[in-house]
Amino acid sequence: MFKKNEINYTDTENCPVRNILDRFGDKWSTLVILILGEQEILRFNELQKKIGTISQKMLTVTLKKLESDGLISRKVYPQIPPKVEYALTELGLSLLPKLTSLVQWANENMSEINSNRAK
């Protein structure tokens, strides 16, 4: 699949795969991307309710991180109280099928992985 020496996986600073997984492979980022992929546009409180178990601070940090990477957009409406909406960018949308494939793989293999962990 990959050409030999195409990517140096041991170079943690410059390996694109490690860099990206480190950036959005936390507990919440993938979930936020998947939810926005289903819902298209959500306000902060709507997103927090969909996740359920995330704190306001952690959701704020996650959204800022994803926005700084260009995976989501944040649109602020000039009104009182402020209205802010989040959506996937084109870059975030291009990541969505890959994450969906990973979710499918995880669903298909989780019982075997759990069995192996128990050993």
**CATH code, domain carrying 61:** 1.10.10.10
Q: Is the pLDDT of residue 2 over 70?
A: no
Helix (H) or strand (E) holding 1: none
- CA-closest candidate to residue 33, choices 106, 86, 78, 79: 86
Structural domain that includes position 41: 16-118
Report pLDDT for 86: 97
Q: Mean pLDDT across the stretch 54-74?
A: 96
Report pLDDT for 68: 94
On whether residue 1 sits in a domain, the answer given is no
Q: Mean pLDDT across the stretch 23-40?
A: 90
On whether residue 99 sits in a domain, the answer given is yes
Q: Mean pLDDT across the stretch 1-12?
A: 60
Report pLDDT for 4: 53
118 — pLDDT class (breaks 50, 70, 90): very high
On whether residue 24 sits in a domain, the answer given is yes
What does each C-alpha distance from 43 to 36, 51, 74, 115 come to in angstroms?
A: 10, 13, 9, 39
Q: Mean pLDDT across the stretch 2-8?
A: 58
Report pLDDT for 22: 78
On whether residue 8 sits in a domain, the answer given is no
Average pLDDT, the chain: 88
Q: For the whole model, what pTM was predicted?
A: 0.82
On whether residue 86 sits in a domain, the answer given is yes
